[in-house]
Structure 1
Amino acid sequence: MSYTGLAVTKNDYESVRGAADTLRLAQRTLSVLKSEQQAARAGVQAEAIEELAKRIHAQLRDTRISTSTTEAAQ
C-alpha cells in the first residue's frame, strides 16, 4: 500500500474487527455462565470497538476512492 497519509491500514481494521468478534463471544459465554455484569461490560466494549472499526473502514474507503480518483485524473 502506498502512503496515504492515514495512520491505519486494512490489517488494522481487520484486527479491530477480530477483537470485536472476540468480545462478542466473551459476552455470550459470560451470559451463559450467568456473569451478567461481566457480559454487559464485554458488550459495551464490543460496541465501542465496532464503532471504531466503522470509522477506520470509512476512512480507508474514502482514502481509496480519493486516491483512485486522483490517479485516474493524472
Structure 2
Amino acid sequence: MAKRCHLIAMRLARTSGNLRHEAQAWAGLGRALVTMGETAKAIRRFTRSLELYQRMNDRAAPEMERLIASLRR
C-alpha cells in the first residue's frame, strides 16, 4: 500500500514540474521499498532522488549520500 501511495505521489510530482517534490517522492518510494526488504531497488530510487537534489544544489544531498552508503554496507 505504501509503495502504491508513493507511486501516485511521484506521478503528481512529475506533472507539477517541481524537482523538490519529485526528489521527495523518489525518496519516499525508496523508504517504502526498504521496509519491504527490497534494498537493491531502494538504492536505485534513493540514487535518483540524490541526482535531483544535486541538480538543485539542495542541502539534503549529503544526507542522501550517507543514506545510500549505509544501505550498501
TM-score by length of 1: 0.46
Of the two, which has the highest radius of gyration?
1
Higher relative contact order (Cα pairs below 8 Å, separated by 6+ residues): 1
